[in-house]
Structures are given as C-alpha cells and as structure tokens.
Amino acid sequence: MKKIILPNIYYSNGLLIGNNVEKVVRKIKDLNGLFDDEASLNKIDPDTIVYEVSSHLEEKEGREGGLFFGITYLYPGKVGNEYFMTKGHYHAKIDRTEYYWGIEGEGVLILMDEDRNVCGEKIFPGSLHYIKSGIAHRVANTGTQILSFGACWPSDAGHCYDTIAKNGFSARLREINGTAVLEDSKKLLYV
C-alpha cells in the first residue's frame, strides 16, 4: 500500500502558506524613480506599502525545467494621477514566458515589447494572461481594494529590472477624468 501524504504548501483564504514561501514587501521608499510626479510622491509616507509578493520558490533560482509560483498583493493608491504599480521587468532570459491571473480587485497588466510598443489588458477575478517571450510586464491597481493576482514562471527566467529602471515603459497608466488611460510617457529616462 502506498502512502498518501498532505501537500506542504497551501493557497488558502488568499494567503500562500507552507515550505519555501518567501515574502517581499515593496514600499514607496523602495521604488525610487518609479513614479514621475515627485511633488505628489513627497507628500506620501515613505513607509506606505505599494505591494507585497509571496512566492513559492521550491527550485534553485536559475534551474532549467522548474517553475515558480507567486501571489502579488497590490494596494490601491495613486501618486498624483498615476496608479500604484509593480516595478515591472523583462525576464533575464528574454524568451521565457509567464502566466498571470486575476484573483481579486481590478487593474491593468501593462505589456511592452522590445520595440517599446505598449498595450494593456484588464485584470479582474478570473482573467488569465499569457505573457509571451520578450515582453516586459507590470501591473497597476485601478480599483479601491487590493488587487491580487497569481503568477507562474520558469525558475530560469530571472528578472531584468535595469532596462525598465533606465528607460521606463513608454506609457504610464493614469487616472484622467475618472478613467484609466495609458498615456505616452513624456520622459524616457527616469532613474
């Protein structure tokens, strides 16, 4: 008779709990250069949490063939008229892909190819997003509650933040006349 065992990882009541779960907290003060309205930024408590990520990292980072799994909790808020958002990244191995899916709240997944063409996909509970190779990805919360979304990506994908830190996305998601609008970025460099 074979033994049937319990899993050692749970996604329950909106929380990822178990072995090899790591949590990252990103506060306003950790996100230098991300938002462009400096006057509004200076009015926000630097310890304000913008997002948290709980990740199940069972594999060694960089191992080919494995998967990572994460839940991101992106808080509602704005800096000026720009919505709270994740840093956004390309994958260090540029051809690696990823799934995102909406769990609660609402927002926009902002996608940019290597020629800096940008588009946005709405995220909502049940939405599913396949992020193809060579596409930078970032999420903004357009709602009034936490936006949580799941992610699953290859353990050898890695994160490349440098290109985004240097050049940003070519569009920013702003609230204009009560509506979320992807507006062309005015400045290219925002480091």
Binding site for Zn ion (CB under 5 A): 98
- Stretch binding ligand M6P (CB under 6 A), from 1-9, 87-95, 105-113, 177-185: 87-95
Cα dihedral 129→134→136→142 (10° resolution): -20
Binding residue (CB under 6 A) for ligand M6P from 21, 34, 35, 72: 72
27 makes contact with ligand M6P (CB under 6 A): no
CA–CA distance, 101 with 62 (Å, rounded to integer): 23
CA–CA distance, 64 with 73 (Å, rounded to integer): 27
Q: How far is the CB of 165 from ligand M6P (least distance, A)?
A: 11
86 makes contact with ligand M6P (CB under 6 A): yes
CA–CA distance, 179 with 170 (Å, rounded to integer): 19
Residue 87 interacting entry, from ligand M6P, Zn ion, none, C-beta within 5 to 8 Å by type? ligand M6P
- Is residue 116 left, alpha or beta, with left meaning phi > 0 and alpha meaning psi from -120 to 50? left
Residues 95-114 that bind ligand M6P (CB under 6 A): 98
- Stretch binding ligand M6P (CB under 6 A), from 38-46, 80-88, 119-127, 168-176: 80-88
169 makes contact with ligand M6P (CB under 6 A): no
93 makes contact with ligand M6P (CB under 6 A): no
Q: What is the DSSP string of 137-169?
A: EEEEE-SSS-EEEEEEEETT---B-HHHHHH--
Residue 120 interacting entry, from Zn ion, ligand M6P, none, C-beta within 5 to 8 Å by type? none
- Binding interface with ligand M6P (CB under 6 A): 53, 70, 72, 86-89, 98, 151, 153, 159
